Structure 1
Amino acid sequence: MTEKKPEPFQFKASDVDIRERETVFDGFFRMEKLTLTHPRFDGTSMPEFTRELFVRGDATCVLPYDPGRDEVVLLEQFRPGAIGRNQSPWLLELVAGMNEDGEDPEEVAEREAGEEAGLSFSKLERICDYLVSPGGTTEMVYLFAGQISTESAGGLYGLEHEHEDIRAHVFSADEAFAMIRDGRINNAAALIAIQWLQLNRDRLRSEWR
């Protein structure tokens, strides 16, 4: 008799037993220490263990794309998490912002487009929602592509009180694809969105025009 192939997702959130939740840091972000246990695939229970969890709100990221000119807008800004790597800590990224309480991702997309790049979207298409690094942080990213005109795009942006210093660049889609291939763009949201554009470019150039 052939053994039945196990199905994924046999467990759910209610199967996790959090015995203790302690806030170990509460500043610009929050860090919690969890003491927990959960069932194992062999039917036994995991011995009680601890994990530190970076509690961060959800974010929205958008790839601005002009289907007529076949161009994208990418933002260059400093990121402290890239210090110490064999690269510049100034990265090329998408329009992005943290979701405030009660805000829809689409509202965040429009707000951040204006603040960070002086842009406004005429269409938004959902690419995906993804967990950034679920082994250690709660953050979910809502990822979009947005239709814009690059005719007058580019320049310096950012909110002074948030210590933002942003340069908006206009690149051809082919230039963006090349920067994915050679590693000049190496942050997850931009990688996913630009690769999605490679798959959907012809459709967008037809539908969005």
Structure 2
Amino acid sequence: MKLSDLGYQDVEQLNEQQLLDGFLDVRKYTLRHKRFDGGVSEPLEREAFFRSPSVGVILYDTAVNKVVLVEQFRMGPYLSKDDPWLLEIVAGMTEPGENAEEVAHREIKEETGLTVRQLIPIFDVYLSPGCSNEKMTLYCGLVDAGDAGGIYGLENEGEDIKVHTLELEQAYQMLEDGRIANSPAVIAIQWLTLHQRELTDHV
């Protein structure tokens, strides 16, 4: 149960304007909403990225306690003058007519070449709620890590993806020391660390 009774119905949208329609769909909104004190806010202007739902999958081999992660170039860290090659979980955007499980299977094949034995739902999470509507559905995908390795990705999308296999404990340590610092991977590795035993017991 929520801690307050404010909800979607308590927002009034006054205007919507599309600012950019390219790799990113950027829109500008004018709105006002009810306040916690019972009043109504002044009109607010907010720019936001509008995106279709996304899917993320942490690939895990229960037999050897290893995860399969992918490494690729990312623009955000580059703009912050950080290392722009990130270790991530498999992820992708939903295309029209696809459900989350279909996206998961497609992206696993495109980014790693692996076939997943079982998809275990984790939960849905907003990745950057202050500036985007993107909600990611997270899964744990059970795979044979012995088949993992190589370079993948779609050339027509400019993808250059390297596949890595790590001990779960090593991946968690990389999270702890900041070498893995993107939110889907952090969330998924923490979840897997908490649920590792029950996954192994039930496979």
TM-score (norm 2): 0.96
- Map residues 16-95 of structure 1 onto 2, 5 A cutoff: 16-85=11-80, 87-95=82-90
Deviation at 1:84, TM superposition (A): 4.0
Partner residue in 1 for 2:111: 116
1:138 aligns with 2:133: yes
Which aligned runs of 4 or more in structure 1 are off by greater than 6 angstroms? none
Q: Distance in 1 between matches of 2:138 and 2:68?
A: 15
Q: Secondary structure at the match of 1:151?
A: helix
Deviation at 1:86, TM superposition (A): 5.5
Q: Secondary structure at the match of 1:83?
A: helix
Q: Please, which runs of 5 or more residues in structure 2 have no aligned partner? A: none
Among the aligned pairs, what percent are the same residue? 43
Aligned residues: 202
Deviation at 1:9, TM superposition (A): 3.6
Q: Distance in 1 between matches of 2:176 and 2:80?
A: 19
Instruction: Output the amino acid matched with 2:180.
Output: I
Deviation at 1:192, TM superposition (A): 0.5
Whether the 8 Å CA contact 2:114–2:147 is kept in 1: the answer is no
Q: Distance in 1 between matches of 2:44 and 2:145?
A: 52
Of 129-138 and 79-88, the range deviating more from structure 2: 79-88
Instruction: Output the amino acid matched with 1:138.
Output: N
Q: Secondary structure at the match of 2:194?
A: helix
Deviation at 1:102, TM superposition (A): 2.0
Change (3 A) 1:87 1:49: closer
Deviations 1:119-165 (A, max 9, x none): 11111111110011111111001111010001121111011001000
Q: Distance in 2 between matches of 1:49 and 1:140?
A: 23
Change (3 A) 1:47 1:87: closer
Q: Please, which runs of 5 or more residues in structure 1 have no aligned partner? A: 1-6
